[in-house]
Structure 1
Amino acid sequence: MKKLTLFFRFWALNSLIIISTFASNGQDNIIKTGITGYLLGDFNLGFERMTTENQSVQFKMGYFMPVLSPVISEKTITPSEYDYVGSKGSVQMSIEYRFYTSKQGLKGFYLGPYLRYYGIRAEYTDIIQDKTFHVDGSVNNFGTGFQLGYHFIFNESFSLDISFFGAGIDKNNIKLVYTNDQQNFNYNEIVDDVSEVFEDIPYFEKRLKNEVNKDNLTSKLPFIFPGLRASVSLGIAF
């Protein structure tokens, strides 16, 4: 919670700095925040800056913590084999370059190629062969693609940004580290048990790599998957 409080303080300060820096340049800038992001535990702040009469660049940064979502529960992010212990949020960020179909500034239909990143960590326990293991899990996601949307500007001040369709490719890296309190435990004994979780999905099973170390078993699963995007943001133009 302390990290979240510090993030919101940074968010507010950053907003004031941006506004004071660009306020003299007319309606070429928009500060916005994603409403749909809050539903997923993504607390974000975006800044869009006009570069030409029908193009712009947008930067977005946020704090991603799914368990703070009103619609995502601990059960949602917990594999059926595990018991949830806790999770840690992560910074998420993206950059997008937009091409508007009109030449009326930052409004109307647009096409925007993007790059994005997010990560998350969670802790679980897993019982294997009647032994309890602590599982430290992490996911890192890098994505690229494009999105279509419509940007409304009301009274030259208020922004409603609706990105109704986005598609791309995401590179995901899942890492699971298994540890046990038993000294000198041979982690080779649980490799097959860990691997069989993915045996029903050949695409994942082929990519799973298990590394047996002296004090843990580390399972890594890199894979590429289609990415989809959609969002609604509110903001202020200045």
Structure 2
Amino acid sequence: MKTISLFPLLFLVLFGVYGQDSIPKKDLKNTVRLNMSSPLLFGDRFLALGYERVLNEKRSFSINVGRFSLPELRRINTEEFEVLDNRTVKESGFHIVGDYRFYLLKENKHKAPRGVYIGPYAMYNYLNRDVRWNVVYDEVTSNMDFNLRLNNTIVGFQLGYQFIFWKRFTLDLVLAGPGYGWYDLKTNIKTDLDPEQQQAFFDALNEAISGRVPGFEGIIEPGEIKRTGGFKTTNFGFRYVANFGFRF
């Protein structure tokens, strides 16, 4: 009698233990994340938050928005002049990038958002910065007021990999992103340096900028300058991004 009476209780216990695993677990389709790598590349003023939404087992889309900035140029001294102070007086910037992801099921053991993915992306950056330089040339100190306004759009195709740890945490790595970009740049510079001194300064300034932002080599000159143009982003490092996220 005791054995018979205990059987229903034992059945309920076993059902409770094993039945929980048989109940489908809720899919975590949303991820919020923080861009960890761009502040190292573009300065600590750069801040971007993101969101990824899983559409099915092999597709998702994501969007990242935040504040855009560029590194300050502090080491641009030459044998002819020295920059004593480089101070940002005012700055505003905006960054947004969106992508559509195809997770490669043949290459991945798991469904989205884990594993290798490819897909198109589009990015827009805006920056408006006022800077004051104190420059020493031939032992004479001069001031230079510099305003930069930049609009930058890039579209391309990216390759990445996303890791998932403990079901909730993600590490999203964009490994490559070749594409094509357009820029609209306006600079306005006021200084009491003579033309020869200005030329020496801007040669060094453009050399310092070269390679930091694709497409902007050798384009900053004295006075008020407006330039527009296009450029290719074929180097793998430019689109490299590392995001740390949380799924829910």
Quickly name the TM-score band, shorter chain normalised: 0.5 to 0.7
Count of paired positions:
192
Where 1:118 maps in the other structure, the secondary structure is: strand
Question: Residue 33 of structure 2 aligns with which residue?
Answer: 32
Say yes or no: does 1:161 pair with 2:172: yes
How far does residue 163 in structure 1 lie from its aligned partner after superposition?
Answer: 1.3
- CA deviation profile, 1:207-226 (whole Å, cap 9, x unmatched): 8899xxxxxx5211223222
| Amino acid paired to 1:235 | G
- Aligned 8 A contact 2:65 2:95 in 1: yes
Question: Residue 4 of structure 1 aligns with which residue?
Answer: none
TM-score, normalisation: structure 1: 0.65
Distance 1:150 1:60 in 2: 17
Distance 1:168 1:95 in 2: 14
Distance 2:217 2:48 in 1: 35
How far does residue 29 in structure 1 lie from its aligned partner after superposition?
Answer: 0.9
Say yes or no: does 1:222 pair with 2:228: yes
- Aligned 8 A contact 1:110 1:150 in 2: yes
Distance 2:221 2:190 in 1: 17
TM-score, normalisation: structure 2: 0.62
- Aligned 8 A contact 2:187 2:220 in 1: no
Give the RMSD, CA atoms, in angstroms. 3.7
Say yes or no: does 1:88 pair with 2:91: yes
> Do the aligned partners of residues 32 and 207 (structure 1) sit closer, same or farther apart at CA in structure 2, a change above 3 Å counting?
closer
Distance 1:90 1:205 in 2: 21
Question: Residue 49 of structure 1 aligns with which residue?
Answer: 53
Question: Residue 13 of structure 1 aligns with which residue?
Answer: none
Structure 2: state its 5+ residue gaps: 1-25, 208-214
Identity %: 25
- CA deviation profile, 1:156-176 (whole Å, cap 9, x unmatched): 211111111111122122211
Distance 2:49 2:154 in 1: 19
- Aligned 8 A contact 1:207 1:223 in 2: no
Question: Residue 111 of structure 1 aligns with which residue?
Answer: 118
Structure 1 segment 52-131 matched on structure 2, within 5 A: 52-66=56-70, 72-75=71-74, 84-86=86-88, 87-102=90-105, 104-120=111-127, 121-125=129-133
- Aligned 8 A contact 1:33 1:234 in 2: yes
- Aligned 8 A contact 2:132 2:143 in 1: no
- Aligned 8 A contact 1:113 1:147 in 2: yes
How far does residue 180 in structure 1 lie from its aligned partner after superposition?
Answer: 6.5
| Amino acid paired to 1:96 | D
Distance 1:58 1:153 in 2: 16
Distance 1:119 1:90 in 2: 5
> Do the aligned partners of residues 126 and 30 (structure 1) sit closer, same or farther apart at CA in structure 2, a change above 3 Å counting?
same
How far does residue 59 in structure 1 lie from its aligned partner after superposition?
Answer: 0.5
